[in-house]
A and B are shown apart, each in its own frame.
Chain A
């Protein structure tokens, strides 16, 4: 499946990559070009990961790429073996709690979800149920500062 790559405008922060590299105690000095090269390799790697995860999502009829799609991707491709530990905790869709059930509040009325819920710890199971929701979760506005 040929996936069209849009022109890539955004780059990885090279200084940050260097810091990540050097977080490993074994890693000492690093030539100036090195993080730049890793940045490129990372870009290629990420494109592959995203392509495959998107393919998985599409095959499941979803427009939204979820953690589970990523998990399936990692498990299915040898190149991604080193990522297996990272995805092992991702629950399978069958484990989902209350997909679209209405939760009743104290007054007996269905509780509406107010906003996006900024709490990170909030309902991890909910993450799987975002499939049918609107684009609201696809927050492409820059709420965070760009570091570059």
Chain B
């Protein structure tokens, strides 16, 4: 997962959700004509962070009970059920399915690169041919670097 490079990290204690993003989301969620006060955005951000901790903590407990070390999707789903968020399970499950499909697509792409139809020898030969052609062009242009 990408880190926020180029951002000044004030230290993990201020860890929260980005204000502008949350504000946009709130605005998208509000009915037309309604707005949210600034301090209320802050409060909502705090609520979101609290929600994340709530689910994570519960999922972690479930994970530990199974003597597993990595919090897996099923732990999240179980946590949601245990905490009274059953209604969320269906939608979250479909996100999980989507994610798995995307993972497969990603794997397929990277496999395609790894398993090129040419053998390594063939590839080396192709590379050498390309170099030779390049050298020929270089010599023909009078050996001047940067010549067209």
- C-alpha spacing A15/B17, complex, angstroms: 10
* Contact, CB under 8 Å: A34 / B52: no
In the complex, what's the smallest C-beta–C-beta distance from B35 to chain A, in angstroms? 4
Cβ-closest chain A residue relative to B1: A15
Segment at the B interface, from A2-10, A96-104, A105-113: A2-10
A1-31 interface bits toward B, Cβ cutoff 8 Å, 1 = contact, 0 = none: 0011111111011111111110110111111
| A147 partner, pick from B4, B60, B80, beta carbons under 8 A | B4
Looking at the complex, which one of A33, A69, A130 makes contact with B96 (CB distance below 8 Å)?
Answer: A33
> Assuming A40-B95, A46-B48, A63-B33, is B60 touching A27 (CB within 8 A)?
yes
Contact of A34 among B18, B76, B88 (CB under 8 A): B76
Within 8 A of A (CB), among B35-66: 35-40, 43-44, 46-57, 59-60
Which of B23-31, B111-119, B124-132, B139-147 lines the interface with chain A? Answer: B23-31
A41–B55 CB distance below 8 A: yes
Q: Is residue B71 contacting chain A, with contact meaning CB distance below 8 A?
A: yes
Instruction: Evaluate contact between B24 and A10: CB separation under 8 angstroms.
Output: yes
**CA A34 – CA B69 in complex, angstroms?**
13
- Contact between B27 and A140, CB atoms less than 8 A apart: yes
B1 lies within 8 A of A87 (CB): no
Chain B residue nearest in CB terms to A28: B69
Count, chain A residues at interface, CB 8 A: 78
Q: Are the CB atoms of A27 and B21 closer together than 8 Å? A: no
Assign chain B's interface to a size class.
35 or more
Whether B50 and A83, one on each chain, are in contact in the complex, defined by CB atoms closer than 8 angstroms, is yes
A5 close to B29 (CB less than 8 A): yes
- Of residues 36 through 77 on chain A, the ones whose CB sits less than 8 Å from some CB of chain B are 36-38, 40-47, 49-51, 53-54, 57-58, 63-67, 69-70, 74
Interface of B toward A, CB cutoff 8 Å: 1-4, 7, 12, 15-21, 23-40, 43-44, 46-57, 59-60, 69-73, 75-77, 80, 84-85, 87-88, 91-92, 95-96, 99-100
16 more contacts with CB within 8 A, not counting A138-B36, A142-B20, are: A8-B25, A9-B24, A10-B25, A12-B25, A17-B52, A26-B60, A46-B25, A51-B29, A54-B30, A57-B34, A65-B35, A82-B54, A127-B38, A143-B20, A146-B21, A147-B21
Pull 26 A–B residue pairs with CB atoms less than 8 Å apart, ordered by A. A4-B32, A19-B12, A20-B17, A23-B15, A35-B1, A40-B92, A40-B95, A41-B51, A41-B55, A41-B76, A42-B48, A44-B87, A44-B91, A46-B26, A46-B48, A51-B29, A63-B34, A65-B34, A67-B39, A79-B84, A82-B54, A86-B47, A130-B38, A138-B36, A139-B38, A143-B20
